[in-house]
Structure 1
Amino acid sequence: MANNSSLSHGLLRKIVNDQGITAHVLVIIFLCINLLLIVTFFKKECFHTSARYILFAVMLLSDSFMLIMSDVLLILSFFQYTMQVWLCAIISVVVLLYSKVTPITLTAMTLERYVAICMPLRHAELCSTHNTMHCILIIYGISSIYCIVIFFMFFASASYSFYKQNKVCSVEMFIMHSWQDHVRSAVNQMYSLVMCIIIIISYDKIMKVAKAASGESKKSTQKGLQTVVLHAFQLLLCLIRLWCPFIEAAVFRFDVSSYTNVMYFNYIMFSLAPRCLSSLIYGLRDETFCLALKSYVCFGLTKRNYV
């Protein structure tokens, strides 16, 4: 991890000059798509009472924030902009929090599909707007555990004078000892294990319902099953991202010249890609949302009844 923070200015310049431009363009495109989806959600009141659309909006906002922050931090690193450690700590707390919000929200959306398909009679009760608001608070509470662990270890190890030093802001800066890195890895693995278990169990239950269903019910169940599979794939990309720092550190030790390519690939595949799949899963596959989206893309010229 320490090797990452010692990346030379020349390598960072290569990233921004040769590959960073593509990343910036992709970030702008994804942000524009997310903004359109967010506007669509807030414009239509029918989405405000559905648990899956509310959770979808939460994930879109989280993804958009992470896209902006990752791009800003990359630019600051390129220009070697320094700030006091205490200010970087505040920024990093928010970044770490939202890095967990998306995968946990995906897990919650999978559970919502499980309730809708396997417990349809209780869906309105369990996934009411009131309960969904509580669910969002739980999502942020669980996401904050990771931040608390990381910064509790940091505050226990760092001296008071360290907070007043000027450094290039990086989350890796708060891992001061190898044991802290091991604890961080253990917490990440715990998150990954729990979310994977929930996804697998939900998929298994929905699969059983799909086999027993028939006619229109079977078609609806199959669509829900496909959504869970897409959630699982998106979650897999998010979980792989947790291992990217270890992969990048290993590559840096053995082949510095390949480090920039590996870091760029990881950033595109495991940071940007998972945060654009949301629009493909709901913005295009969901009929109600897709029709609403089309009406805004066509500036209201397409008058369709989608409520």
Structure 2
Amino acid sequence: MQSLRVNISSSSNQLLDVPIFIKVLLVQVLVGIFLYMNCLMIFTFLKKEVFREDTRYILFAQTLFVDSALIVFTDVLLIASFYQIRIHMICCLLICVVSSILTCCTPLTLVAMCLERYVAICMPLRHADISTSRTRFLGFLIIWSISSMSTLFTFIAYLSVVRPGALFSYVMCSMEIMLREEWQANARSVMLLLFFLLMILIIIFTYIKIMIAARAASSEKKNSTNKSLRTVLLHAFQLFLCIVQFLTPYIEMPFWKLDVMVFYNVRYSNFIVFIIAPRCLSPLIYGLRDEKFFAVLSHYAMCGLTGFSQLRSVNRK
């Protein structure tokens, strides 16, 4: 009788594992497609010097790299969460710190892209003077420095309250592991709120300026200006999804106390909607909507069998 109960219990556990396996498999398929497209676009960027000298494409390449790395780290955490895999605390902290920096880097790069479009459309005569290698280096330094501020504050605050022995334990790793005290979570929330309010104001400013330029533009330049206007709108939508992503830990944690399975389902949905989805928009905005980049991308995607005329026109520019 006891062996029968054991068999029934093991069978029920296997049945419970089936939906989890399907969910994880679906995520791996989506992540695989996403990484393949990003790697192909990074390869396209590196192959053409004309892209490596243009600030717009350089910022686009950074989003591809940052988003790919973030997807890999968050995917590892999602799999570990679903299968209850414990990770050494130091490795967990390293993953959380890097993931947090990458998460902040994406919206800042989106803001930099909007500012680049603003300069290109509203100050075309000064665009070449402003968009230099020195300016790009300074911009990347600002982006990565600001991205690290909130994370380093959270990490230092965590080290100030954690027991030394806890650093050598094995834990269920998640981004919230560094928020042990309520004041840490509140301080992080305030920093992120100010951080995103500033970015939203910058995007609204660039949108209004480009919209004014679009109305005053001649018929020849109107198409280019309107396209830049739609690009800023898409970046604003991306930024909105990134903002919601920062709120997902506060949405998920109440479900942990209520029902573990509901918690995992909510985390799974948030991963697809607020982590994978917004990062699929960057390849769409610049990889597929940009005619020059798409011509080269299609050439390499088809192993050089198509796009010869478009490729020659890109090489001449």
TM-score strictly above 0.5: yes
The 2-side partners of 1:191 and 1:15 are apart by 38
Is the 2:158–2:180 contact (alpha carbons within 8 Å) kept by the matching residues of 1? yes
Match for residue 306 of structure 1?
313
* AA at the equivalent of 2:231: T
Match for residue 136 of structure 1?
140
Given the superposition, is the C-alpha separation of residues 86 and 267 from structure 1 closer, same or farther in structure 2, using an over 3 Å criterion? same
Is the 1:118–1:206 contact (alpha carbons within 8 Å) kept by the matching residues of 2? yes
Equivalences, count: 298
The alignment status of 1:225 with 2:232, answered yes or no, reads no
The alignment status of 1:248 with 2:255, answered yes or no, reads no
* AA at the equivalent of 1:166: Y
Displacement after TM superposition at 1:252 (Å): 4.1
The 2-side partners of 1:157 and 1:252 are apart by 23
* Percentage of matched positions with identical amino acids: 44
Structure 2 regions of 5+ residues with no counterpart? Answer: 1-12
Match for residue 194 of structure 1?
198
State which of 281, 292, 295 in structure 2 corresponds to 1:291: 295
Which one has more relative contact order, counting CA pairs under 8 Å at least 6 apart?
A: 1
How far does the alpha carbon of each residue in 1:111-163 deviate from its partner, in whole angstroms, 9 at most, with x for none? Answer: 00011011111111111233112211211111000111111210111122221
Match for residue 6 of structure 1?
none
The alignment status of 1:39 with 2:43, answered yes or no, reads yes
Match for residue 209 of structure 2?
205
Displacement after TM superposition at 1:202 (Å): 0.6
* AA at the equivalent of 2:126: R
Q: How does 1:19-168 map to 2 (within 5 A)?
A: 19-168=23-172
Give the secondary structure class of the aligned counterpart of 1:120.
coil
* AA at the equivalent of 1:277: L
Is the 2:82–2:264 contact (alpha carbons within 8 Å) kept by the matching residues of 1? no
Given the superposition, is the C-alpha separation of residues 108 and 13 from structure 1 closer, same or farther in structure 2, using an over 3 Å criterion? farther
Displacement after TM superposition at 1:175 (Å): 0.9
Structure 1 regions of 5+ residues with no counterpart? Answer: 1-8
The alignment status of 1:265 with 2:288, answered yes or no, reads no
* AA at the equivalent of 1:190: L
Q: Name the larger-Rg structure.
A: 2
The 2-side partners of 1:50 and 1:16 are apart by 44
Given the superposition, is the C-alpha separation of residues 93 and 13 from structure 1 closer, same or farther in structure 2, using an over 3 Å criterion? farther
Match for residue 5 of structure 2?
none
Displacement after TM superposition at 1:264 (Å): 1.9
* AA at the equivalent of 1:306: S
Which region of structure 1 is more displaced relative to structure 2, 262-271 or 224-233?
262-271
Over the residues paired in the alignment, what is the CA RMSD in angstroms?
1.9
The 1-side partners of 2:19 and 2:78 are apart by 10
How far does the alpha carbon of each residue in 1:160-219 deviate from its partner, in whole angstroms, 9 at most, with x for none? Answer: 222122222222111111111111111111121111111111101111111111211111
Match for residue 182 of structure 1?
186
The 1-side partners of 2:45 and 2:237 are apart by 24
The 2-side partners of 1:267 and 1:298 are apart by 31
* AA at the equivalent of 1:41: F
Displacement after TM superposition at 1:255 (Å): 5.5
* AA at the equivalent of 1:243: L
The 1-side partners of 2:83 and 2:260 are apart by 20
TM-score scaled by length of structure 1: 0.92
